[in-house]
Amino acid sequence: MRIDCPHCGSRDIQEFVYRGDASVLRPDPEREDALARFVEAVHLRANPAGRHIEHWYHAGGCRAWVRVERDTLTHEIESATFASEEIGR
Ligand SMILES: [Zn+2]
């Protein structure tokens, strides 16, 4: 599998480290049920079959955090952008 790093171009997956589900948002710490929401956000994960949004870290390259949209069944990558571009979503 190869990932198109937005800075380096197409690179082998061995240069990257999987850093988790990019669709999970940080809970509001001011909420009354914040602890339960943090436990859920940190420890509970879905195992989707199909399209998935993930964070990958380009450890063997430019050290950028990359947001990847990938199909978990076919490993086809639809897009790869800098994770910093998702701020404000
Ligand atoms: Zn890179």
Tell me if residue 72 falls in helix, strand or coil: coil
Tens of each residue's pLDDT in the chain, 89 residues? 999 999 999 999 999 999 999 998 889 999 999 999 999 998 988 888 999 999 999 999 999 999 999 999 999 999 999 998 876 55
Instruction: Tell which CATH classification among 3.40.190.10, 3.40.50.1110, 3.40.50.2300, 3.30.2270.10 matches the domain 2-86.
Output: 3.30.2270.10
Full-prediction pTM beyond 0.85?
no
The Å distance, Cα 82 to ligand 1 centre, comes to 9
The Å distance, Cα 88 to ligand 1 centre, comes to 22
The Å distance, Cα 25 to ligand 1 centre, comes to 24
Identify whether the C-beta of residue 82 lies closer than 8 Å to the C-beta of residue 65.
yes
Please tell me the predicted confidence (pLDDT) of residue 88.
53
Please tell me the predicted confidence (pLDDT) of residue 75.
93
Please tell me the predicted confidence (pLDDT) of residue 89.
52
Domain-wise residue ranges, the chain: 2-86
Identify whether the C-beta of residue 75 lies closer than 8 Å to the C-beta of residue 1.
yes
The Å distance, Cα 6 to ligand 1 centre, comes to 7
The Å distance, Cα 4 to ligand 1 centre, comes to 8
Cα 56 vs. chain centroid, distance in angstroms? 6
Sign of the four-CA dihedral 69, 71, 13, 2:
negative
